[in-house]
């Protein structure tokens, strides 16, 4: 008997869900934005309400309370480690805007982070312009990283005049004198940071962000030169932060430990040179366990948030104590860890397919012998011989293809052979399930029989990292978890690009190439793609001109009721056309004159012309996705 627990286990939802996601007894996906059972959202209910409001799919759901929850957890983890190891200073964070610049997201982060002195980290002028508009906590930092031209520096120096604490980080040696000159000219004394190049590297997909050949950071020689120059400008007091960043999603804890130790040594040495470093900024890298395996595989991390904090605090303290240097304020720029859980995309399924091989095959009697072999195979296959018969069928299919290529098989017979082969496969797969045969052979078979579920979304727009770097994201049915999923499938999107397909899924031990899904019945079938809150919002692109998805922001109140805090309309066709420089009014007037000409030429009646024009206008204002 299939139970809810089986579904929870199959999709691994409680392994990667960090307490935020599960299934309820009705088999619906639930979200607990505060991790409290009394504040649970049944996503199916939300979907039903949204459909009465005619909100079309795909819909991106945001749960702002999850952002708050993650900020609390991160600060809590560091505060635990600080008291456990008797560390003599504090922790504070700065949210890196490149991870998710969306206004609603940053607003929520700034609001929830105020009491923790959570700041913002920016890497470009546009991010800085946005960040300058927020009021941060009194000790919070606005950290300026990235390549900086004079305009960027000027903006940052202006911010220094207005804000409590702005730190301009020298990411590249050549920025040193430009920064110092401009500061002198504008009469501003900014706080200054230095990003150091470490030998230590991260692990996982972003390992190359660290190490000797990394894009940013100063070598030891450059750092010493930089300190001398800063001192010549009489700004040494302002040099208050040591920064490093060895890449995002660091999968192995020992890499973090190693980098912290190396950087701590640098900190202690320059502190002992009487440089007034107050902040030890460990950058990003805190990983998310996307597959729930708690391993150092790319989609996971072999440590928890608490272990991360423990390692940082302990390693830093250890080196500082050894060198007799005071404990600095610990700063992290954890972006992924704060934002990944807060959003998920719900897509509806248009249908599924894998060829038509259901019809029973009858033989005339004069088919090539190979067809007869397949036919007999299908009659005789049973639970005892299915492995052998499945292997025979594979060979027969091979043979069928060679005979066809030699011109010895007609199309009608080839079709019969292919259908018989698929029917044998289905039987074999059935027997394999019954006997719980888990050998690799049958993985291939399930893949062969798997269906392509057509999902109403664009991989490129909504899960760009899956396409770009094969980053895995969990995918689960939104409901029907009470039923055993009897199909296997991959999920193809509606772009005209064969890369637009989710064909890798999280799994405890491995990566699955097919996902257990339900048979489609007459009702709608919805899937959720989760943990999309970090990086996906702005890396997404407009391939095939599919635009931003509709959004619903959901919160849950103290009594456990959920509310739609906000609905944000996705892009319309005219919006995405504007991104590629078409003016919709211009398009319309061109179309209009074409229609007028057709009416003059008597190719079109006046009523038809009007209808066509109205239709064109309506389509311009519609959502870019399928209306199912
Ligand atoms: C990208 C980046 C981060 C964010 O890293 P996460 O792994 O998402 O926490 C932090 N700091 C710098 C300098 C970055 O470039």
* This prediction's pTM: 0.95
pLDDT per residue over 275-288, tens digit each?
999 999 999 999 99
**Same domain (yes/no): 295, 149:** yes
**Confidence (pLDDT) at 261:** 97
Does any domain span residue 412? yes
Res 415: pLDDT: 94
Distance, in Å, from the CA atom of 584 to the CA atom of 105, rounded to the nearest integer, reads: 30
**In angstroms, what is the span from residue 547 Cα to ligand 1's centroid?**
26
Distance CA 197, CA 216 (A): 7
- Select which of 144, 226, 496, 574 is catalytic: 496
Of 429, 448, 467, the domain-final residue: 448
H or E element that contains 95:
strand 91-96
Flag whether pLDDT at 438 surpasses 90. no
CB 209 near ligand 1, within 6 Å: no
d(CA 98, CA 536): 10
Asked if 321 and 253 sit in the same domain, the reply is yes
Residues 330 and 404 in one domain: no
Looking at 187-327, list the stretches that DSSP marks H as alpha helix, in order from N- to C-terminal side: 220-232, 253-271, 305-323
Q: Going along 262-360, which residue ranges are E strands?
A: 279-281, 329-332, 343-353
- Give residue 509's pLDDT band: very low, low, confident or very high (50, 70, 90): confident
C-alpha 170, offset from chain centre: 30
Asked which of 448, 478, 506 is the last residue of a domain, the reply is 448
Diameter over CA atoms, the chain: 98
Q: What distance in angstroms lies between residue 17's CA and the mean position of ligand 1's atoms?
A: 22
Measured between alpha carbons, how far is 443 from 423 in angstroms, rounded to an integer?
17
Q: Are residues 383 and 299 in the same domain?
A: no
Tell me if 363 is assigned to some domain: no
Assign residue 257 the CATH number of its domain.
Answer: 3.20.20.10
Q: Are residues 275 and 169 in the same domain?
A: yes
467 against 509, higher pLDDT = 467
Same domain membership, residue 179 and residue 137: yes
What CA dihedral angle connects 389, 394, 398 and 399, to 10 degrees? 0
**Is there a contact between 346 and 528 (Cβ–Cβ < 8 Å)?**
yes
Whether residue 345 lies inside any domain: the answer is no
Ligand 1 centroid to residue 201 C-alpha, Å = 14
How many domains, the chain?
A: 3
User: Does the CB atom of residue 99 touch ligand 1 within 6 A?
Assistant: yes
Which of 432, 625, 428, 489 lies closest to 545, judged by CA?
625
Residues 393 and 274 in one domain: no
Clarify whether 226 is annotated catalytic.
no
Whether 478 maps to a domain, the answer reads no
Question: Which residues form the domain of 125?
Answer: 121-339
Q: What average pLDDT does the structure give for the chain?
A: 95
Query: 70 CB under 6 A from ligand 1?
Result: no
Which tens digit of pLDDT belongs to each residue from 318-369?
999 999 999 999 999 999 999 999 999 999 999 998 877 888 999 988 999 9
Regarding whether 321 and 385 lie in a shared domain, the answer is no
Residue 99 CA: nearest ligand 1 atom is 8
CA-nearest residue, atom 3 of ligand 1: 284
Mean pLDDT of 228-233: 96
pLDDT band at 439 (very low <50, low <70, confident <90, very high): confident
With a 6 A CB cut-off, is 217 part of the ligand 1 pocket? no
145 lines ligand 1 (CB under 6 A): yes
Residue 446 Cβ contacting ligand 1 at under 6 Å: no
Q: Residue 63: what pLDDT?
A: 98
Give the model confidence (pLDDT) of 446-501 as tens digits.
Answer: 888 999 999 999 999 999 999 999 999 999 999 999 999 989 999 999 999 999 99
Residue with tokens 């095959």: 361
Question: Are both 212 and 279 inside the same structural domain?
Answer: yes
Quick one: 168 and 259 in the same domain? yes
Of the residues 413, 448, 483, the one at which a domain ends:
448
In the reported structure, the alpha carbon of residue 208 is separated from the centroid of ligand 1 by a whole-number distance in angstroms of 13
Ligand 1 geometric centre to CA of 389 (Å)? 54
Tell me the CATH number at 390: 1.20.58.930
How far is the CA of 396 from the CAs of 246, 311, 574, in angstroms?
54, 59, 53
Give yes or no: residues 334 and 375 share one domain: no
On whether residue 108 sits in a domain, the answer given is no
Do 139 and 250 fall within a single domain? yes
What is the reported pLDDT for 473?
98
Give all strands (DSSP E) within 403-446, no chain letters.
none
């Amino acid at each position: 008997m299939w139970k809810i627990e089986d579904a929870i286990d199959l999709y691994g939802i409680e392994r990667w869900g960090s307490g935020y996601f599960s299934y309820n007894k009705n088999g619906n996906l639930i979200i607990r934005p505060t991790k409290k059972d009394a504040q649970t959202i049944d996503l199916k209910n939300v979907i039903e309400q949204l459909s009465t409001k005619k909100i079309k799919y795909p819909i991106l759901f945001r749960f702002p309370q999850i952002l708050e929850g993650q900020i609390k957890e991160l600060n809590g983890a560091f505060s635990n480690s600080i008291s456990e190891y008797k560390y003599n200073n504090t922790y504070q964070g700065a949210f890196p805007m490149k991870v998710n610049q969306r206004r609603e997201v940053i607003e929520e982060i700034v609001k929830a982070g105020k009491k923790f002195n959570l700041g913002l980290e920016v890497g470009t002028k546009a991010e800085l312009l946005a960040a300058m508009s927020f009021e941060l906590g009194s000790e919070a930092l606005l950290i300026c990283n990235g390549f900086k031209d004079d305009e960027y520096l000027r903006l940052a120096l202006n911010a220094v005049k207005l804000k409590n604490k702005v730190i301009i980080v020298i990411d590249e040696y050549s920025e040193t004198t430009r920064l110092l000159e401009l500061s002198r000219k504008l009469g501003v004394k900014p706080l200054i940071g230095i990003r150091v190049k470490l030998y230590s590297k991260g692990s996982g997909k972003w390992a190359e962000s660290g190490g000797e050949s990394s894009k940013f950071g100063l070598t030891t020689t450059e750092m010493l030169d930089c300190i001398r120059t800063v001192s010549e400008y009489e700004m040494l007091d302002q040099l208050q932060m040591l920064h490093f960043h060895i890449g995002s999603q660091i999968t192995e804890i020992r890499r973090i430990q190693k980098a912290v130790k190396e950087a701590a040594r640098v900190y202690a040495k320059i502190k002992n040179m009487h440089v007034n470093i107050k902040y030890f900024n460990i950058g990003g890298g805190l990983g998310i366990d996307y597959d729930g395996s708690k391993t150092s595989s790319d989609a996971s991390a072999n440590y928890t948030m608490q272990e991360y904090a423990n390692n940082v605090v302990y390693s830093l303290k250890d080196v500082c104590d050894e060198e007799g240097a005071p404990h600095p304020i610990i700063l992290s720029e954890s972006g992924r860890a704060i934002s990944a859980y807060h959003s998920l995309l719900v897509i509806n399924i248009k249908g599924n397919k894998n060829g038509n091989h259901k019809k029973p095959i009858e033989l005339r009697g004069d088919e090539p012998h190979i067809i007869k072999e397949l036919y007999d195979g299908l009659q005789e296959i049973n639970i005892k011989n299915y492995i052998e018969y499945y292997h025979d069928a594979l060979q027969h299919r091979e043979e069928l293809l060679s005979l066809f290529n030699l011109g010895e098989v007609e199309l009608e017979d080839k079709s019969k052979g292919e259908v018989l082969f698929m029917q044998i496969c289905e039987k074999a797969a059935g027997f394999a399930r019954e006997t719980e045969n888990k050998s690799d052979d049958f993985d291939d078979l399930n893949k062969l029989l798997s269906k392509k579920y057509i999902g109403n979304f664009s991989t490129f727009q909504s899960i760009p990292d899956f396409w770009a770097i094969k980053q895995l994201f969990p995918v689960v049915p939104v409901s029907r978890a009470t039923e055993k999923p009897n199909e296997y499938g991959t999920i193809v999107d509606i772009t005209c690009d064969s890369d637009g397909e989710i064909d890798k899924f999280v799994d405890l031990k491995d990566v699955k190439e097919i996902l257990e899904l339900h048979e489609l019945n007459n009702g709608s079938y919805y899937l959720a793609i989760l943990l999309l809150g970090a990086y996906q919002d702005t890396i997404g692109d407009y391939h095939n001109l599919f635009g931003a998805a509709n959004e619903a922001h959901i919160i849950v109140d103290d009594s456990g009721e959920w509310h739609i805090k906000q609905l944000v309309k996705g892009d319309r066709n005219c919006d995405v056309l504007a991104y590629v420089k078409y003016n919709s009014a211009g398009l319309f007037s061109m179309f209009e004159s074409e229609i007028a000409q057709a009416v003059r030429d008597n190719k079109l009646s006046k009523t038809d012309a009007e209808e066509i024009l109205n239709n064109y206008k309506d389509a311009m204002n519609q959502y870019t996705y399928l209306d199912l």
